Amino acid sequence: MQVRCLSLLALAASLVNSTPSNERKTCTIQASGTNVTDDAPAIRAAFKECDRGGRVVFNPVTYYINSILNITGLQDVEIDIQGKLLWSTDIQYWLNHSMSVGYQNQSTAFILGGDNLEIDGHGIGTLDGNGDYWYEWIRKQPNTSNYPGRPHQITFNGLTNSVVKGVNFLRSQMWTMSIIHSHYSQFQDILVNNTGNRFQSWRVANTDGADTIFSSHILFQNWTVYNGDDSIAFKANSTSIVLKDSRFYGGLGIAIGSIGQLKGVSETVENISAENIYFENTLHSFYVKTWTDDQNGYPPNGGGGGLGYAQNLRLKNLETKGMRGAAFSISQCTRFKGAPGQGNCTNSQFQLRNISIDGLKGTTKSGRVASLQCSAVAPCTDIELSHVDLKFENGTSAKSYLCGNVKENKGWECTGKVCEGGSATGEC
């Protein structure tokens, strides 16, 4: 298959099969049927055999994944997931063997990449990280944010001209999906449910739905995410990305960043659009988080001093139910627990500009429509809000717009001074 992307919204209509399915070499993976036998070697062997113009099939059974999967360089491959991939609960193995994502010292259990791939779960194919064990374990550690070696469930690295559709992701070990160095690809009809059997999803940190890094021309469509952190986050050098027709429950909402974490390194986020998004019991609908200009420690739990900008961020038709914090939040004072020092909350050199939200309605538990803590060194400019109608359950309107170091605002007026303080979640 091949994706000729005339525009992001035309991705789905632009797929052309270069090799018909009935002419492809097919590699059907046989499952062992027991968790004491690792099915990862059989999976690696199937992809090696059918890595060019082939078809790899997961039967409607459970595959036990007891070791890392690093599958890249595929070309024109159909991946048919009818069953479940279930990761083992050997936490010490994963801490010692998870692979580098290539960003923020993060790691992963599964790397998958290639050109012209079609990954189809048909709405039933599932990747299950067995995250309950991780959620229980991480709460007992001194570092509950970014524990070294705690893996993402899957990393798409170097995925181009491809489609991922109809796949369910359950109880991810940490971030569900990191997308890095990937371009002209779409992710549609995806379910992420990181609600543990013993913990509510919004109580589990770092269970992001998806994070983009050094990637462009990506379409996210028809996502449903239950989690306890960023619903979807656009990080360093994410450009020309569309998110639409999706539903987010219990997490933090759509995020830009965190960004500006690497001292002296310039990064950008631009041309991001989100439309027709529903939020229920999330902390925000949309928030931006950048590090200060002071370097306090190193990634993943420290950093600062980064350069660059985020611009042309467009959001339209956002609906909320039971919003827990400011619907729209900016914090340019990101720091995480365990990072030394307090930092200056107004000295970031990373600039935010040209941001618009058109259509923000629904119910909230917070009086803050906006809480914008921007940098005095590089103030936020050209922030536009229109057609805002947020109400408490009793029907009264939320009317608070708190801001600091915001210039050229359009369609709204600041009603008070914002709190200045460190945050990893968008507000003091």
Instruction: Check residue 422 and give its pLDDT.
Output: 86
Which amino acid would we find at residue 180? I
Q: Per-residue pLDDT for 5 more than 60?
A: no
Instruction: Check residue 3 and give its pLDDT.
Output: 40
- The mean pLDDT of 76-91, rounded to a whole number, is 98
Domains of the chain: 18-417 (2.160.20.10)
Residue 252 to residue 249: CA distance in whole angstroms: 9
Instruction: Check residue 279 and give its pLDDT.
Output: 98
- Return the percentage of the chain with pLDDT > 90, whole number: 82
Instruction: Check residue 18 and give its pLDDT.
Output: 47
Instruction: Check residue 174 and give its pLDDT.
Output: 96
The 10s digit of each residue's pLDDT in 173-227 is 999 999 999 999 999 999 999 998 776 656 677 999 999 999 999 999 999 999 9
β-strand pairing of 266-280 with 126-128: unpaired
The 10s digit of each residue's pLDDT in 225-284 is 999 999 999 999 999 999 999 999 999 999 999 999 999 999 999 999 999 999 999 999
The 10s digit of each residue's pLDDT in 120-157 is 999 999 999 999 999 999 989 988 878 999 999 999 99
Indicate the pTM of the whole model: 0.94
Three-class secondary structure of residue 52 per DSSP = strand
Residue 343 pLDDT level (bands cut at 50, 70, 90): low
Instruction: Check residue 202 and give its pLDDT.
Output: 61
CA angle 348, 351, 352 (to 5 degrees): 125
Beta-strand ranges (E) seen in 134-237 are 151-152, 154-160, 163-165, 168-170, 177-180, 183-193, 211-213, 215-226, 230-234
Query: Any idea which residues carry the catalytic annotation?
Result: 229
- The mean pLDDT of 300-327, rounded to a whole number, is 95
